Amino acid sequence: MLGARVRLHDLHRDDLGIAHVPWPVEVGDLIATEEDVYRVVDVIKTGREAPVAALLKVRRAGLALVARLSP
């Protein structure tokens, strides 16, 4: 897999699992998993020996689906 392994947690501290994301990750980035799309709220980088590159606090992105019909 390309990118870095990160562990996702929601705003209630529930563990959402591991994701592979492009590195570096910044606040405001979008992360898509099989379950949902999340926006990064906080990034805590870990040490080199850690099993994940960072712990990410995320919230559901709530993206709106927009379609444009051609005339």
pLDDT tens, residue order, the chain (71 aa):
568 999 999 999 999 999 999 999 999 999 999 889 999 999 999 988 999 999 999 999 987 666 677 76
pTM of the model: 0.81
Query: What is the pLDDT, as a whole number, of residue 20?
Result: 94
Distance between CA 1 and CA 29 in Å, rounded?
A: 19
Query: What is the pLDDT, as a whole number, of residue 69?
Result: 75
DSSP label at residue 4? E
Q: Which residue, chain included where needed, has tokens 């529930």?
A: 14
